[in-house]
Amino acid sequence: MEFYQFLYFLFCLSGQLLLNLSFSTTQLCRPIQSDALLQFNDSLTVETDTDSDCDPKMTTWKNSLDCCSWDDVTCDNVTGNIIGLDLLYSCLQGTLRSNSSLFALRHLQSLNLAFNNFCTSPILPELSVSNFSSLVSIEISYLSKLILLYLSFNDNFHFAPVSFPKSNWSKSLQSLTLSSTRILGKIPDSIGELKNLKTLELDYCQLIGSVPSSLVNLTKLTRELDLSKNKISGQIPRRFWNIEKGTLESLDISSNLIEGVMIFLVTLLRESYNNFPGKILFLATDNGFSGEIPSSVCKLSSLVGLYLDHNNLFGSIPQCLGNLTNLSYLDLSANKFEGTLPQSLDSCALLHTLNVSHNKINDTFPK
C-alpha cells in the first residue's frame, strides 16, 4: 500500500513539474530585456497635456510581468527575444541618450519612434547642437538586426553626417524613414552602404548639396525613394537612375532646387522603366526643370502619377498622353504651357486628378 502511495506521490510531483515547465514556456519575455524596456520607460516622460490625441502606450507596461504581452511589443515566438517596438505617437518626451537601455535590445528588427518629442539636452554637445535639440546617438547602430527603422516627425532629432550609422546596418536594414528629422547638411555618403534598402524616406530633412554618387549602390531600392522638401541642388546625374533598375515604384524629388532639361529627364525615365511591369509614381514638383515635355513620355505606360507643376516648362502638352492608360494623376500647373488640352486624355479612364492651371491653356477637358 505504501508503495502505491509513493508512486501516486511521484505522479503528482511529476505532473506539477510538467505544469510549471509548461507555464514557464509561455512566459516568453526575457527578464533582462524586460528590465531594459522599463528603464527606457523610466528615462522618458509622458506628455498628454499638449496633445490629447496621442496614445501613452508605455504607461501600461508595468501591469504585467510578461513584456511580450505589453502594448506594441513584439517577441520572437521561439526565443522570447524582443524583435519589434512600435511607439508611434506615444506622447513621449525626453532625450535618447547614448547610454539608453533601448540600445541593449540587440535583437530588435523593427523600431518605430515616429511622432514623439525627443527634445531636451543634446546627446553629443561637442557637435554644437542647440540645447533644446537631441542628436541621434551613434549607439543606435548597435541594433544591428534592424530591418525597419522609423524616426519620422521628431523635429528635434538630429543626424550628423559624420556619425551616421554605417556597416552595422549594411546587411539587415530594408526600410529607413527619417522624414522631418535633421541630417545637418548633405545626404550622408554612408547611406549608400545600406545595400538592402527597399525604402528610403528623407523628406523634410533640411538636406543641401547634390545627390551623392554613393546612392547608385542601392540596387534593391524598389519601393520608395523620397528626397522631397529639401534644398538639394544641381542636376540629376545619369548614374543616379541606376539605383532603381526600373523597379522603383515611387520617386519623389519635389520641392528642391534641382535643374535640368525635361527631354533629358524623360530619356532617363524611359531608359530605366522600359518594359517595367509595375506602376510608377513620379513627382518633380517645384524645381527648376525647363524645356518642353517630349512625346517620348507617352511610352512610359506604367505611369500612374506625373507631377511636374511649378517648374519652367513650356510649349504644348503632348497630344499622345492618352496612351498612358494607367494615368490617374497629372499635374502640370504653374508652368508656361500653351495651346489646348490633348483630346486623347479622354482615353485615360482612370484619370481623376488633372491640374493645368496657371498656364496659357485655352481649353476645357475633352468630353
Which residue's entry shows cell 520608395? 224
Give the pLDDT confidence score for residue 92 in this predicted structure.
87
Give the pLDDT confidence score for residue 345 in this predicted structure.
92
Which residue's entry shows cell 519612434? 113
Q: How far from the centroid of its chain's Cα atoms is residue 200's Cα?
A: 5
Q: Evaluate whether 280 touches 266 at the Cβ level (below 8 Å).
A: no
Which residue's entry shows cell 479622354? 346
Task: Give this prediction's pTM.
Answer: 0.83
Give the pLDDT confidence score for residue 200 in this predicted structure.
94
Beta-carbon contacts of residue 197 (< 8 Å; ≥ 6 apart):
173, 174, 175, 176, 191, 218, 220, 221
Beta-carbon contacts of residue 190 (< 8 Å; ≥ 6 apart):
161, 164, 165, 166, 214
CATH superfamily of 254-367: Ribonuclease Inhibitor (3.80.10.10)
d(CA 113, CA 92): 9
Give the pLDDT confidence score for residue 175 in this predicted structure.
94
| Amino acid in the structure at residue 309 | D
Residue-level pLDDT, tens digit, the chain, 367 residues = 454 444 434 444 444 443 343 344 455 788 999 999 999 999 999 888 877 888 998 988 886 778 999 999 999 998 999 999 999 999 888 888 888 999 999 999 999 988 888 764 333 332 222 222 455 667 787 888 999 999 887 756 666 554 565 557 888 999 999 888 877 788 888 888 898 999 999 999 889 999 888 888 888 888 899 999 999 998 877 666 655 455 678 889 999 999 988 877 777 777 666 666 778 899 999 999 999 998 888 888 889 999 999 999 999 999 999 999 999 999 999 999 999 999 899 999 999 999 999 999 987 766 5
Domain ranges of the chain: 254-367
Q: Evaluate whether 113 touches 137 at the Cβ level (below 8 Å).
A: no
Q: Evaluate whether 301 touches 333 at the Cβ level (below 8 Å).
A: no
